[in-house]
Structure 1
């Protein structure tokens, strides 16, 4: 699992671009620099071509794999760059690629890869990212079904109506295109919806991490275009892609937490010595390093497995999401502790990484949920659905980070 010289050069390019443009949230409470974020988003598309890295050349992309996307995600996670790269350039684009070839896909894909259109994947419902929780309904205007009949084939115009509620939709307020997983009479399907279409309402949610906006999408007979009737296959691929990409971001954020904590331990003097000279601090820094490298190995393993189409890619993605989530949460918490008083102030970066660590741990399913998926995939459980969150609605809400009532 080694990245090529070209991939490492991509890493350097993205890091330099982000550092020079200051692509991090500002320090004012709840305020991000929208001008800076737009600048970074535009330059990544125009100068780096980051949005098109994992898109085949025949569809107008760069023809690379998820490994290049992994590199970009790690660097964006290091800086907590507040751009919709994960939701639009990764999830929406990959979901669209996994759908059936259609005029609608050809219409939207070039705009997504150019960065002129932001997409969002409307997926989670009732506090769960499992497909069993999806209750949104899709009904054909023509009375057709999603069974493969001519009337059900994807077309260039809306021919379906969607009704339901989607939660935890990344960058929903900014998105111009929504890809929605919904039920038809033949199973799960994926449909495209214009954000400005009648019957579409987006309610902003207030997440723990303000640099990653989320929204609740309400669909009331909203016009939609069918992209594929093989929704289960597409959503399995999207879940693996989401977990793998997010693990890269978590590794990048954890690495920055360790770097700034080591730097602080070298310069903070107590009792006439830098605090990094004390054995107790050394041990905690060493533990952080071991956690980081273990998480990095899991994340890279998931990326290479996904890129190579390995049969165990889903299991490795679940492992990466679980281990990287817990490592980032622990490292971010330790960073605050070792920074002492300055670590809990609003002026310091520590709290932003702490919030991102806890928010991303619950995104796309909690570590516990993915361990259950992994155990089921390995045949270590007595039964049940590998993508279902077991337990009461209260349990599901807690694991997804939603608070009801």
Structure 2
């Protein structure tokens, strides 16, 4: 079996226990009803620094020699890895330098500085800080801390699987977010070996954002494939290619890798807020998105790893709105109307009678998509879900209007 041994994971667990919390495991009746089998949520969003990254970062830094520690460490990240490295370095008395993109959300920037790192802003994507960090390591001798492609990082992330086994001893399936593969390779390696001691197997399923899914083509070709990612709300797992160490572990140990859309992820965040009262970042919610989208087959006790909770409040506001739209609880309608008095009042009355709530109205004559004798009404309304939304649309159509839904 590739990667760390069970003894390596257990040794890493002893190290990681010096700083990391044993995060809660919650049950979810709502998701269990959808999946058709018990669902548990492993809440790494409640971990110190807000994500699982502290595990791999601390195990990696704690394993440095005294000479390496004296040289300091450098890393590049848009968020969670930065905070994990900065925190671990502070705890171990190591100087840390973190390169971050210029547009990094303010809470992540402030948190990284709060943990004592020197933060240098470079470029507008993660690629530019990565190149800058590599040059810094060459120029200064600082140790470059990779976010996922290192033996000690994999072993540190795998400590999460040992906790899962303690909290849900009869676990049958674990669903894990995938970016470069550090978390899932560690989890799969640890949990498969631990389950084998009991003479059984645990299914491991990886979930990637559809706009940044490098593993499916890599697994299909049985070699590392670099893709061109497109923007995704799950920026924490937006990685263009698998790690050299991670890919063979995922290939040999992970049972299935699937993808989810940004709409499905936004809806998952909304469900976690409303049903579980948990704040989770998009990358940490893709496992829940996969269940909600019907992409996971039921198989006994299922644990979903909520890998992080570091989300910018402004981004959260946008994602909640997106999630409401994706679940058809927030409709944007365009309705052409005759240009005569009383039409807006008539529309408002129909919506009110259908028990929907108007949030925003734009009434415009200046639109080349309507006839000269018409105006266009743009109406934003709240509904109770798909069935209610369809009922509102049906009422409008019954009254002779032609509502068009904007997605």
Q: Structure 2 length normalisation: TM-score?
A: 0.27
Bigger radius of gyration among the two: 2
Please identify which structure carries the higher strand content.
2
Q: TM-score, normalised by structure 1?
A: 0.27
